[in-house]
Protein backbone atom coordinates (compact mmCIF):
# COMPACT_ATOMS: atom_id res chain seq x y z
CA UNK A 1 0.00 0.00 0.00
CA UNK A 2 1.48 3.33 -1.08
CA UNK A 3 0.82 6.09 1.43
CA UNK A 4 1.37 9.72 0.36
CA UNK A 5 1.46 12.81 2.53
CA UNK A 6 0.58 16.26 1.20
CA UNK A 7 1.97 18.70 3.80
CA UNK A 8 1.44 22.42 4.13
CA UNK A 9 0.48 25.37 6.25
CA UNK A 10 -2.92 25.68 4.52
CA UNK A 11 -3.41 29.19 5.91
CA UNK A 12 -6.05 28.87 4.42
CA UNK A 13 -6.52 25.99 1.96
CA UNK A 14 -7.08 27.31 -1.57
CA UNK A 15 -8.65 25.83 -4.69
CA UNK A 16 -5.08 25.37 -5.95
CA UNK A 17 -4.34 23.03 -3.02
CA UNK A 18 -7.62 21.21 -3.62
CA UNK A 19 -6.76 20.69 -7.26
CA UNK A 20 -3.48 19.01 -6.24
CA UNK A 21 -5.31 16.92 -3.59
CA UNK A 22 -7.96 15.75 -6.09
CA UNK A 23 -5.27 14.68 -8.56
CA UNK A 24 -2.92 13.16 -5.96
CA UNK A 25 -5.63 10.98 -4.42
CA UNK A 26 -5.87 9.11 -7.74
CA UNK A 27 -2.16 8.23 -7.60
CA UNK A 28 -1.90 6.99 -4.01
CA UNK A 29 -3.56 4.12 -2.17
CA UNK A 30 -3.98 6.47 0.75
CA UNK A 31 -3.54 10.24 0.91
CA UNK A 32 -2.94 12.12 4.14
CA UNK A 33 -3.23 15.90 4.11
CA UNK A 34 -0.95 17.11 6.91
CA UNK A 35 -1.25 20.59 8.39
CA UNK A 36 1.85 22.03 10.06
CA UNK A 37 0.88 23.26 13.54
CA UNK A 38 3.65 25.69 14.47
CA UNK A 39 4.89 27.25 11.31
CA UNK A 40 7.47 30.05 11.45
CA UNK A 41 5.13 31.84 9.06
CA UNK A 42 2.90 32.78 12.03
CA UNK A 43 -0.41 31.61 10.61
CA UNK A 44 -3.46 33.87 10.68
CA UNK A 45 -5.79 30.90 11.17
CA UNK A 46 -5.49 28.58 14.17
CA UNK A 47 -4.68 24.92 13.64
CA UNK A 48 -8.33 24.07 14.47
CA UNK A 49 -9.55 26.54 11.82
CA UNK A 50 -7.10 25.29 9.18
CA UNK A 51 -8.00 21.64 9.80
CA UNK A 52 -11.71 22.58 9.92
CA UNK A 53 -11.45 24.32 6.54
CA UNK A 54 -9.89 21.20 5.01
CA UNK A 55 -12.55 18.97 6.56
CA UNK A 56 -15.27 21.16 5.07
CA UNK A 57 -13.57 21.31 1.66
CA UNK A 58 -13.01 17.53 1.59
CA UNK A 59 -16.29 16.40 3.14
CA UNK A 60 -17.06 14.33 0.01
CA UNK A 61 -13.71 12.55 0.32
CA UNK A 62 -13.90 10.38 3.45
CA UNK A 63 -11.00 8.37 2.02
CA UNK A 64 -8.62 11.31 2.54
CA UNK A 65 -7.14 11.58 6.03
CA UNK A 66 -6.68 15.08 7.43
CA UNK A 67 -4.09 15.30 10.17
CA UNK A 68 -1.78 17.82 11.79
CA UNK A 69 1.85 17.64 12.83
CA UNK A 70 4.55 19.62 14.53
CA UNK A 71 8.29 19.24 14.27
CA UNK A 72 9.92 17.61 11.29
CA UNK A 73 7.89 16.38 8.34
CA UNK A 74 10.14 13.35 7.97
CA UNK A 75 9.25 12.22 11.51
CA UNK A 76 5.53 12.48 10.68
CA UNK A 77 6.19 10.49 7.48
CA UNK A 78 7.87 7.75 9.51
CA UNK A 79 5.09 7.72 12.11
CA UNK A 80 2.51 7.26 9.33
CA UNK A 81 4.68 4.69 7.52
CA UNK A 82 4.27 6.81 4.41
CA UNK A 83 6.24 6.33 1.20
CA UNK A 84 6.06 9.71 -0.47
CA UNK A 85 5.65 13.45 0.03
CA UNK A 86 3.48 15.28 -2.49
CA UNK A 87 4.38 18.88 -3.31
CA UNK A 88 2.72 21.29 -5.73
CA UNK A 89 4.85 23.53 -7.93
CA UNK A 90 3.45 26.74 -9.38
CA UNK A 91 6.46 28.44 -10.91
CA UNK A 92 10.21 28.22 -11.24
CA UNK A 93 10.39 30.41 -8.15
CA UNK A 94 8.92 27.58 -6.05
CA UNK A 95 11.47 25.12 -7.36
CA UNK A 96 14.66 26.17 -5.60
CA UNK A 97 13.17 25.99 -2.11
CA UNK A 98 11.28 22.79 -2.84
CA UNK A 99 14.38 21.11 -4.31
CA UNK A 100 16.32 21.94 -1.14
CA UNK A 101 13.52 20.51 1.04
CA UNK A 102 13.27 17.38 -1.10
CA UNK A 103 17.04 16.76 -0.98
CA UNK A 104 17.12 17.43 2.75
CA UNK A 105 14.29 14.99 3.39
CA UNK A 106 15.92 12.43 1.07
CA UNK A 107 19.06 12.78 3.12
CA UNK A 108 17.15 12.25 6.35
CA UNK A 109 15.36 9.19 4.94
CA UNK A 110 16.48 7.78 1.57
CA UNK A 111 13.38 5.55 1.37
CA UNK A 112 11.00 8.50 1.16
CA UNK A 113 10.38 10.10 -2.24
CA UNK A 114 9.18 13.65 -2.91
CA UNK A 115 6.80 13.82 -5.87
CA UNK A 116 6.23 17.18 -7.53
CA UNK A 117 2.95 17.96 -9.24
CA UNK A 118 2.62 20.96 -11.51
CA UNK A 119 -0.18 23.32 -10.63
CA UNK A 120 -3.27 23.58 -12.77
CA UNK A 121 -2.62 26.61 -14.99
CA UNK A 122 -5.90 28.14 -13.76
CA UNK A 123 -4.44 28.39 -10.26
CA UNK A 124 -0.82 29.23 -11.06
CA UNK A 125 -1.22 32.75 -9.62
CA UNK A 126 -3.03 31.59 -6.48
CA UNK A 127 -1.53 31.32 -2.99
CA UNK A 128 -2.77 31.38 0.59
CA UNK A 129 -0.98 34.70 1.09
CA UNK A 130 -2.81 36.22 -1.90
CA UNK A 131 -6.13 35.03 -0.45
CA UNK A 132 -5.24 36.55 2.93
CA UNK A 133 -4.27 39.82 1.32
CA UNK A 134 -7.53 40.00 -0.64
CA UNK A 135 -9.62 39.07 2.40
CA UNK A 136 -7.79 41.60 4.58
CA UNK A 137 -8.99 44.33 2.22
CA UNK A 138 -12.48 42.81 1.74
CA UNK A 139 -11.57 41.83 -1.83
CA UNK A 140 -13.36 39.18 -3.83
CA UNK A 141 -12.10 35.65 -3.07
CA UNK A 142 -14.82 33.84 -5.07
CA UNK A 143 -13.35 30.91 -6.96
CA UNK A 144 -10.08 31.07 -5.02
CA UNK A 145 -11.19 29.10 -1.95
CA UNK A 146 -13.88 26.45 -1.39
CA UNK A 147 -17.35 28.01 -1.13
CA UNK A 148 -18.00 26.49 2.32
CA UNK A 149 -15.10 28.37 3.95
CA UNK A 150 -15.32 31.68 2.11
CA UNK A 151 -17.49 33.53 4.63
CA UNK A 152 -15.48 32.33 7.62
CA UNK A 153 -12.28 33.64 6.03
CA UNK A 154 -13.79 37.05 5.34
CA UNK A 155 -15.38 37.15 8.80
CA UNK A 156 -12.03 36.50 10.53
CA UNK A 157 -10.41 39.51 8.91
CA UNK A 158 -13.40 41.74 9.52
CA UNK A 159 -13.61 40.76 13.20
CA UNK A 160 -9.95 40.77 14.16
CA UNK A 161 -8.54 43.28 11.71
CA UNK A 162 -5.60 40.86 11.26
O1 LIG B 1 2.39 25.42 2.78
P2 LIG B 1 3.85 25.62 3.10
O3 LIG B 1 4.02 26.66 4.17
O4 LIG B 1 4.67 25.92 1.89
O5 LIG B 1 4.38 24.22 3.68
C6 LIG B 1 5.69 24.07 4.12
C7 LIG B 1 5.88 22.75 4.88
C8 LIG B 1 4.91 22.63 6.03
C9 LIG B 1 5.68 21.60 3.95
C10 LIG B 1 7.36 22.78 5.38
O11 LIG B 1 7.60 23.97 6.06
C12 LIG B 1 7.68 21.62 6.32
O13 LIG B 1 7.82 20.49 5.90
N14 LIG B 1 7.84 21.94 7.62
C15 LIG B 1 8.12 20.96 8.66
C16 LIG B 1 9.53 21.13 9.22
C17 LIG B 1 10.53 20.38 8.36
O18 LIG B 1 10.49 19.17 8.27
N19 LIG B 1 11.42 21.15 7.69
C20 LIG B 1 12.36 20.58 6.78
C21 LIG B 1 13.69 20.33 7.44
S22 LIG B 1 14.46 21.82 8.02
Give the CATH number for residue 117: 3.40.50.620
- Asked if the structure places residue 37 within a domain, the reply is yes
Q: What angle do CA 48, 97, 142 make, to 5 degrees?
A: 45
Verify whether ligand 1 is closer than 6 Å to residue 101 (CB atom). Answer: yes
In tens, the pLDDT along 53-101 reads 999 999 999 999 999 999 999 999 999 999 999 999 998 889 999 999 9
Range of 50's domain? 3-124
Is ligand 1 within 6 A of the CB of residue 108?
no
Is residue 140, in this structure, part of any structural domain at all? no
Distance 73 CA to ligand 1 centre (A): 7
Structurally, the chain folds into a number of domains equal to: 1
Q: How many CB atoms lie within 10 A of CB 44?
A: 19
Query: Of 72, 100, 102, 116, which is best to mutate to test ligand 1, by the most ligand atoms within 8 angstroms of its C-beta?
Result: 72
Task: Confirm whether 151 is domain-assigned.
Answer: no
This prediction's pTM: 0.96
Q: Has residue 110 been placed in a domain?
A: yes
- In a domain? residue 147: no
Q: What is the pLDDT of residues 11-44, one digit of tens each?
A: 999 999 999 999 999 999 999 999 999 878 899 9
User: Closest residue (by CA) to atom 1 of ligand 1?
Assistant: 8
Amino acid sequence: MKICVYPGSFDPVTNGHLDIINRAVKLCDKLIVAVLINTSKNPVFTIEERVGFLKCALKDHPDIEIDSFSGLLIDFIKEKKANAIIKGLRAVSDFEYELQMALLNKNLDPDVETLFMMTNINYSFLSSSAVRELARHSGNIDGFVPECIKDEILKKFKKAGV
